[in-house]
Amino acid sequence: MTTVAADQEDTHHHPKPRRRLPIGSLEILCVLLVVAVVFQDSLASLLGSELIRTAATRFVAVCVQAIPFLVLGVLISGAIAAFIPASALRKVLPRRQALAVPVAGVAGVALPGCECASVPVSRRLMQQGVAPSVALAFLLAAPAVNPIVLVATAVAFPGNPEMVAGRFFGSLATAIVMGWLWARFGKLEWMAERALRRIPDRDGRSRWLTFVETARHDLVDSGGFLVIGGLTAAILGVVVPASWLDSLSEQIVLSVIVMALLAVILAICSEADAFVAASLSMLPLLPRLVFLVVGPAVDVKLVALQAGTFGKSFAFRFAPATFLVAIACALAAGYLVGV
């Protein structure tokens, strides 16, 4: 797996020559920057509004807090893509699927990355002959139970170590249950043929270039989604009246459902979502734990990524099932660790 993300890179950036508008993204960027400089004063006067000023500060705060975590995550995922061959992982997996699923789930601990990175990695695993159920368990576990995410959760919830435990067990359980469900009920024909086709290894590149390319690709790929998360968190923070979420906090069932849906819609990178959950401090911990378990397993950007990678008929069966399983596992884990 020398070039997991990097071989996509090639397909993106050296497309077949085709007729296109002479204006490219580079020109658009230049125009945007010039416009920003010219209208700097009007942009700055936007900050005259107290509402926008507060939202802007919160937005920058989420980004500034989360980007270092994202960078650390993509560096590690790049290093794994470059220096640890997938065949090594396949060798350590037990032959029996029922056993291999939990092993793959726990292996997610050692292979950190945000959910956008784990989609190509698990596809790569399938292409290398790992059973789909096992690769899917890895897909769900890796973004949620890796050390970076757990440390971020601990930092975001100082004084609530049970949130870290709840998140770890809830997400791991989700991954294992979904892996077993797939092993029992899953059908290969739901998956697009392209997801299973084997790709010959390309060893031509030096490992360091693969490392840099994978890290850069993951960063660019997930950075945009991080911005969506930061924006949504900032806007929600100022627009939703505190009293509204206060009233939600008394209805635990409703708040669990709302937070689960919020996790799907917000689609925040798992390395940053703990901070968003921490900021919704008017809610009790259990709905926020549901948010943290559902978010890395199923959200709008992940469904889109999965539909693109594994095919639509796969994604539209897998995502709703994961959603329900994740809520159940989060509640069970929350109950067990005493959140």
Q: Which of residues 239-268 bind another protein (CB under 8 A)?
A: 242-243, 245-246
Q: Per CB under 8 A, does 310 bind another protein?
A: no
Q: Which of the ranges 93-101, 215-223, 290-298, 321-329 carries the binding residues for another protein, by CB under 8 A?
A: 215-223
Residue list 167-196, contact with another protein (CB under 8 A): 194
Q: Per CB under 8 A, does 41 bind another protein?
A: no
Q: What share of the chain is helix, strand, coil (3-state, %, to 5)?
A: 80, 0, 20
Contacting another protein (CB under 8 A), which of 89, 107, 234, 339? Answer: 234
SS (H, E, C) 18-81: CCCCCCCHHHHHHHHHHHHHHCHHHHHHHCCCHHHHHHHHHHHHHHHHHHHHHHHHHHHHHHHH
CB of residue 236 to another protein, shortest distance in Å: 10
Within 10 A of 137 (CB to CB), how many other CB atoms are there?
A: 32
CB of residue 331 to another protein, shortest distance in Å: 24
Nearer to another protein, 227 or 285 (CB): 227
Contacting another protein (CB under 8 A), which of 31, 34, 36, 254? Answer: 36
Between CA 224 and CA 67 the distance in angstroms is: 11
Q: Per CB under 8 A, does 24 bind another protein?
A: yes
Nearer to another protein, 7 or 329 (CB): 7
Q: Per CB under 8 A, does 34 bind another protein?
A: no
Residue 57-76 contact track with another protein, rule CB under 8 A, x = bound: xxxxxxxxx-xx-xxx--x-
Question: 164: burial class by Cβ within 10 Å (0-12, 13-18, 19+)?
Answer: buried
Contacting another protein (CB under 8 A), which of 76, 305, 330, 337? Answer: 305
Residue 62 contacts residue 233 (beta carbons within 8 Å): yes
CB of residue 91 to another protein, shortest distance in Å: 25
Q: What φ, ψ does residue 3 adopt, rounded to 5°?
A: -135, 55
- 3-state DSSP assignment of residue 250: coil
Residues contacting residue 214 through CB under 8 Å, at least 6 positions apart:
3, 4, 5, 6, 74, 77, 78, 81, 82
Contacting another protein (CB under 8 A), which of 213, 271, 273, 299? Answer: 213
Instruction: Number of residues interacting with another protein: please give it, by CB under 8 A.
Output: 80
Residue list 143-162, contact with another protein (CB under 8 A): 155-156, 158
